[in-house]
Amino acid sequence: MAAELELHGVNLHFGGVTVLNNVGFTVSAGQIFGLVGPNGAGKTSLFNCISGHYRPQSGTITIDGENVAQVPPARMAAHGLARTFQHPALQLQRSVLENVMLGAHSRMSGNPLTWALRGPGARKSEAAVRAEALTILDRNDLAWAAERSAGELSHGLHKSVELCRALMMHPKLLLLDEPAAGLPHSEVEALIATVKRLRAHEDVTVVIVEHHMGLIGALTDAVVVLDHGSKLMEGTAAEAQADPRVIEAYIGKADDSAA
Ligand SMILES: Nc1ncnc2c1ncn2[C@@H]1O[C@H](COP(=O)(O)OP(=O)(O)OP(=O)(O)O)[C@@H](O)[C@H]1O
Ligand SMILES: [Mg+2]
């Protein structure tokens, strides 16, 4: 079942620096939700709070009503969470297939190397995981890359492999941090098709951080705009793009970087 995500009054500081200021919003089960805002707005930090990598000083983060704000990252898979990272972290020496299989580690103990050394039960589940990883790679047009080492692939393909690895976790809530960054136009179209297929065939709630407004407009039911750690507005992607406060936030940022 797709999960509902609810945030209330989330505050995050590093030393004297306020990174998130009283952030709250609700993502309904099954929605595709956008989190947008200029560089440094706090989008990745908010994902890190949801995934347990950062602990907010105050506020609640609930997944299907359970407060997960202080749950460590390794335990978040049990709450149905999977995520991808703005800067993908793959095992570059290992094959693409093994990287995707690692997504199942929340469901199995050990890793692809130790699975091979265990008894028949482990070998059977390893075979099932391998078959599923191949199916997921195939659905994402990556079957050809299964036996390549991850280090051979382009940055854009690393993002796709990370998405496949996240899908191996059977998430109820999937967080994607800038999945389109660095992708050529044709691959952005393919990514949009992939996320639409997720909506049609998998029971999952998706939150996407993205600067690519074409992708946000094509995919999301609703968006929240963050600026300097605070929620600026909430509405549809079209409403956000037309909102003078949002335009000002982006122009202000452009002025900052020009200065
Ligand atoms: N671990 C940390 N220690 C100190 N400051 C941090 C830490 N993590 C994030 N920040 C600060 O929090 C602010 C928000 O950063 P964050 O990476 O969340 O922004 P973002 O919205 O994801 O930006 P971008 O679009 O560039 O990815 C920045 O000023 C950043 O320096
Ligand atoms: Mg970021």
Q: Tell me the CA–centroid distance for residue 137 and ligand 2, in Å.
A: 26
Q: Which atom of ligand 1 is nearest to the CA of 178?
A: 27
Pick the ligand that lies closest to the CA of residue 211.
1
Pick the ligand that lies closest to the CA of residue 13.
1
Tell me, using a 6 A CB cutoff, whether residue 42 lines ligand 1: yes
Cβ neighbours of residue 149 under 8 Å, at least 6 residues apart? 92, 93, 94, 95, 96
Q: Tell me the CA–centroid distance for residue 229 and ligand 1, in Å.
A: 9
Q: Tell me the CA–centroid distance for residue 237 and ligand 2, in Å.
A: 19
Tell me, using a 6 A CB cutoff, whether residue 41 lines ligand 1: yes
Ordered structural domains, the chain, with CATH: 1-80+171-259 (3.40.50.300), 90-168 (no CATH)
Q: Tell me the CA–centroid distance for residue 154 and ligand 1, in Å.
A: 25
pLDDT value, residue 72: 93
Average pLDDT, the chain: 91
Count CB neighbours of 60 within 10 A. 15
Q: Is the pTM of this model over 0.75?
A: yes
Tell me, using a 6 A CB cutoff, whether residue 39 lines ligand 1: yes
Out of 85-89, 119-123, 154-158, 192-196, pick the least confident.
119-123
Tell me, using a 6 A CB cutoff, whether residue 59 lines ligand 1: no
Tell me how far apart the alpha carbons of residues 36 and 214 are, in angstroms, rounded to a whole number.
12
Q: Tell me the CA–centroid distance for residue 39 and ligand 1, in Å.
A: 8
Pick the ligand that lies closest to the CA of residue 84.
2
Does residue 118 register a pLDDT over 80?
no
132-170: per-residue pLDDT in tens? Answer: 999 999 998 899 999 999 999 988 889 999 999 999 999
- Between residues 199 and 151, the one the model is more confident about: 151
Out of 2-6, 155-159, 217-221, pick the least confident.
155-159
Tell me how far apart the alpha carbons of residues 163 and 201 are, in angstroms, rounded to a whole number.
15
Q: Choose the residue to mutate in 44, 175, 208, 213 for probing ligand 1, maximizing ligand atoms within 8 Å of C-beta.
A: 44
Pick the ligand that lies closest to the CA of residue 37.
1
